[in-house]
Copies of this chain bind each other. A is one copy, B any other.
Amino acid sequence: MLKRNLNLNLIPLEEALSKYFSKLKDYLKPGCEEVPIDECLDRITFSPVYAKINSPHYNAAAMDGIAVVSAATIDACESNPIELKIDTNFINVNTGDPVRSPYDAVIMAEDLIEHNENTVKIVKSASPMQHVRPIGENIKIGEVILSEKHKIRPIDINVLLSGGITSVKVFTKPKVAILPTGNEIIEISALQEGEEPKEGIIIDSNSRMYEAQVKHAGAIGKCFAPVPDDYDILKDTILKAVNDFDMVLINAGSSAGTEDFTVQVLREIGEVIVHGVAIKPGKPVILAIVNGKPVIGTPGYPVSAYLSFVTFVTPILSVLTGDKEKAVQNIEAVLSEKITSSVNLRECIRVKLEDVNGKLTAFPLARNSSVAMSLVKADGFCIIERGCEKKEKGETVTIELIN
């Protein structure tokens, strides 16, 4: 009898996630590092950031014009212009210039008449601190500029600098090892431009996709060379990866093939929490922990590989990066045709959205998880929950938008 781990007992998605995360939570420890201000864009603050200086740090002219002693201007009006002498009762100021005692107000250039080198006439009184930016108007020393777990935006960099901040404590980017497996897998670099691989040989198209998904999640992915179907080599490679990285993804070799060593290896060197989830695509996923690190085995078909990342890897990276998961945007649409699905599985169906005489209509695309192009063309997903076996043509369904 050939050795096959045929019958996965599939557990519901919610159960799989809660089982895995309740085990993981003691192990997921986000790291912290200090980065210079000019490298902090899009990083996540690890703790609140407090201003080190006031902004402005002196009373500053808010307008171009003249600085005056407000008390000396009270009588000024159209019928009673007051003449001021330079350096005696006024000085010229540009925006940003200090307004020092005895001066306590600024009159805009536009409001001045007969403005000469040494004298100027005003026809309106100035109130104290008029057009003067008081110390700390923008930021007060000690004030919280950014809260923790805040993704730093361009405008945040502006206030950080004005608050005298030169470096920021942020979450360390977790490192993710990406291990393609299988004797049949080669890297595209092994081919000439446009060269077709031999029959039975497959270009590794998932590792680079994973590297990109990891990057979008705010982490750093490292693609390994394809690991052959050899128990000991696979074991050694995973053990090394677990040592050097915060998380390990093992792609392909997670289902029932005669050469699928992944789950056996993981059982030997760690704990397999879940093997097989009642979702389609993505059934044969493996959720394991080795030396306290999350190790996830994902199926080889591109669509399964993509979706199992979104479903199982993204939430883990969200904990490690401190970044919130992007909220899924939903939209209502009517189905162009009837869809049937297994009552035992939660199925994620790719759909294209089109306006059909005023009605947003969802057209199901290829459901075959080997057809990655259908995911490229898709506008969203129609989820058919476990326990539901069909959606009727014309039925209004909720579509999870992609992008």
Check A387 for interface membership: any CB of B closer than 8 A. no
**Which 8 pairs, one residue from A and one from B, show the smallest C-beta to C-beta distance?**
A154-B212, A161-B205, A52-B194, A158-B209, A58-B199, A94-B257, A98-B199, A154-B213
CA distance A96 to B184 in the complex (A): 8
Contact indicator A188/B166 (Cβ below 8 Å): yes
Check A83 for interface membership: any CB of B closer than 8 A. no
Check A246 for interface membership: any CB of B closer than 8 A. no
CA distance A302 to B158 in the complex (A): 7
Contact indicator B41/A376 (Cβ below 8 Å): no
Q: A1-B116, A2-B115, A255-B64 are in contact. Are A216 and B137 (CB under 8 A)?
A: no
Contact indicator B159/A97 (Cβ below 8 Å): no
Contact indicator A300/B154 (Cβ below 8 Å): no
What 0/1 pattern do residues 293 to 336 of A give for CB contact below 8 A with B? 00000001010011000000000000000000000000000000
Check A243 for interface membership: any CB of B closer than 8 A. no
- Say how far A394's CB is from chain B's closest CB, in angstroms: 29
Interface residues of A (CB under 8 A from B): 1-2, 4, 6, 37-38, 41, 52-54, 56-58, 62, 64, 92, 94-98, 100, 109-110, 115-117, 133, 137-139, 143, 145-146, 153-159, 161-162, 164, 166, 182, 184, 188-189, 191, 193-197, 199-200, 202-206, 208-213, 215-216, 255-259, 300, 302, 305-306, 368, 370-373, 375-376, 403
Contact indicator B258/A94 (Cβ below 8 Å): yes
- Say how far A97's CB is from chain B's closest CB, in angstroms: 6
Contact indicator A109/B6 (Cβ below 8 Å): yes
Contact indicator B157/A208 (Cβ below 8 Å): yes
Contact indicator A372/B155 (Cβ below 8 Å): yes
Contact indicator B373/A153 (Cβ below 8 Å): no
Contact indicator A155/B255 (Cβ below 8 Å): no
Q: Hey, which chain B residues are within 8 Å of A256, CB to CB? A: 64, 109
- Say how far A52's CB is from chain B's closest CB, in angstroms: 4
Name A153's closest neighbour in chain B (CB-CB). Answer: B403
CA distance A210 to B41 in the complex (A): 11
Contact with A159, one of B139, B205, B368 (Cβ below 8 angstroms): B205
Contact indicator A215/B41 (Cβ below 8 Å): yes
Q: Hey, which chain B residues are within 8 Å of A161, CB to CB? A: 188, 203-205, 208-209
Q: Hey, which chain B residues are within 8 Å of A204, CB to CB? A: 161
Contact indicator B302/A372 (Cβ below 8 Å): no
Contact indicator B375/A155 (Cβ below 8 Å): yes
Q: A256-B64, A370-B62 are in contact. Are A157 and B209 (CB under 8 A)?
A: yes
Q: A115-B1, A200-B58 are in contact. Are A259 and B155 (CB under 8 A)?
A: no
Contact indicator A306/B154 (Cβ below 8 Å): yes
Q: Hey, which chain B residues are within 8 Å of A371, CB to CB? A: 137-138
